[in-house]
Amino acid sequence: MTAKETAMSKGTISILGLGAMGSAIVDRLRESGYDTVVWNRTAAKAEPHVKAGSEHAATVAEAARAGDIVIAVLLDHASVREHLEPVATELKGKVVVNLTTTTPNESRATAAWAAEHGLSYLDGAIMATPPMIGRPGSSLLYSGDENAFAIAKLALETLGTADFEGADAGLASLKDMALLSAMYQMFTGFLQAAAMMRTVGVAAGRTAEDVIAWLSELIPHVGHFAAVIDGEDDDPALRQDVAFTRPAIASLITAAREQGVSSDFLEPLKKHLDELAATGRGDANWISVIDQFPINE
Ligand code: NDP
């Protein structure tokens, strides 16, 4: 924080929700020179913020009236709707930013509700942990009302990079969920490796070093997979077909079981490869399993 940043208020932002993330956001906005008004279901959590210079709103309506921008950082979609719906009148003319994690359709439903009430609504997704807020590496995604984004952008950029994904309010959430899906599958892969190696006394820390080294080399391959999926390129040097990959995955499953370790997280890939082989696609690139992902066809 610089003296210049605190010298003059840049406007008033109300924050609904003072959990770990809401608190980090208020701290950052306050140190960036914004007047902040805070509301939390459990009022005691407002105390440290009031001591640090925020104002406390006793009700959501009071917070909504006070802010030029109103940011919700609550638990889930239900808690957002529970607290925003009764204050639609007070939110009129404000920019409403929902940073609570919701699914794309939940985001779209809240955007539709906001549109019905003539509200400026921006849906956001936070690609950061609370300590990362306002620091390099913190990234936030937004979608919905582009004009609302333009108005709030300066304030939102104090939290991390602010990228507008498009007018469909579900887009920020969709990207968030897609990236988190990739993340959890990657971490689950590490857990599988650690579970296998600890059967012979290798500490998870040692396996972590090996996994980090191995995956760091391989992660650029997603670019090759993407080129195949997008129909742009299928470099034969990097290609592995179903007939090759299917027994390889079967061996991983057998090896896990031999060590007395569950193969539950590996089985779905084997199932999809079996389906490709059974439908005459043994010579297809193994990443053709992506063709089996759609469930509404
Ligand atoms: P916390 O569990 O720390 O805080 C939850 C907040 O939601 C509290 O302010 C809590 O109020 C409030 N809350 C819960 N239920 C209700 C309800 N029914 N009505 C009103 N308020 C309610 O969570 P975080 O602050 O970490 O997360 C907040 C949002 O940010 C979540 O959607 C989360 O997915 C998202 N997020 C969090 C990240 C993280 O690393 N923490 C990363 C990215 C996104 P009370 O104090 O009264 O219980």
Do 182 and 40 fall into the same domain? no
The domain that holds 287 is classified in CATH as 1.10.1040.10
**How many Å lie between the centroid of ligand 1 and the Cα of residue 74?**
4
- Whether 241 and 285 have beta carbons less than 8 Å apart is answered as yes
**How many Å lie between the centroid of ligand 1 and the Cα of residue 17?**
7
Average pLDDT, stretch 84-95?
98
Ligand 1 atom showing the smallest separation from residue 42 Cα: 47
Do 131 and 72 fall into the same domain? yes
Do 183 and 153 fall into the same domain? no
- Whether 58 and 43 have beta carbons less than 8 Å apart is answered as yes
The domain that holds 125 is classified in CATH as 3.40.50.720
In a domain, 196, yes or no: yes
Is residue 8 very low, low, confident or very high in pLDDT (cuts 50, 70, 90)? low
Ligand 1 atom showing the smallest separation from residue 18 Cα: 9
Do 161 and 49 fall into the same domain? yes
In a domain, 5, yes or no: no
In a domain, 4, yes or no: no
Do 257 and 213 fall into the same domain? yes
Pocket test for ligand 1, best of 41, 106, 132, 140 (most atoms within 8 A of CB): 41
Q: Determine whether the shortest distance from the Cβ of 101 to ligand 1 is under 6 A.
A: yes
Do 163 and 19 fall into the same domain? yes
Do 163 and 182 fall into the same domain? no
Q: Determine whether the shortest distance from the Cβ of 138 to ligand 1 is under 6 A.
A: no
Do 74 and 134 fall into the same domain? yes
Structural domain count of the chain: 2
Q: Determine whether the shortest distance from the Cβ of 124 to ligand 1 is under 6 A.
A: no
In a domain, 6, yes or no: no
Q: Determine whether the shortest distance from the Cβ of 156 to ligand 1 is under 6 A.
A: no
Beta bridge partners of 96: 70, 121
- The answer to whether residue 247 scores a pLDDT higher than 50 is yes
> What one-character-per-residue DSSP string does the chain give?
--HHHHHS---EEEEE--SHHHHHHHHHHHHTT-EEEEE-SSGGGGHHHHHTTPEEPSSHHHHHHH-SEEEE--SSHHHHHHHHGGGHHHHTTSEEEE-S---HHHHHHHHHHHHHTT-EEEEEEEES-GGGTTSTT-EEEEEE-HHHHHHHHHHHTTTSEEEE--SSTTHHHHHHHHHHHHHHHHHHHHHHHHHHHGGGT--HHHHHHHHHHHHHHHTTHHHHHHHHHTTS---GGG--BHHHHHHHHHHHHHHHHHTT---TTTHHHHHHHHHHHHTT-TTSBGGGGGGG--S--
The domain containing residue 86 runs over which residues?
12-168
In a domain, 1, yes or no: no
In a domain, 29, yes or no: yes
Q: Is pTM, for the whole model, over 0.85?
A: yes
Tokens linked to 49? 């913020």
Q: For 137-184, how does the pLDDT look when each residue is reduced to its tens digit (9 = 90+)?
A: 999 999 999 999 999 999 999 999 999 999 999 999 999 999 999 999
Is residue 235 very low, low, confident or very high in pLDDT (cuts 50, 70, 90)? confident
Percent of the chain with pLDDT over 70: 97
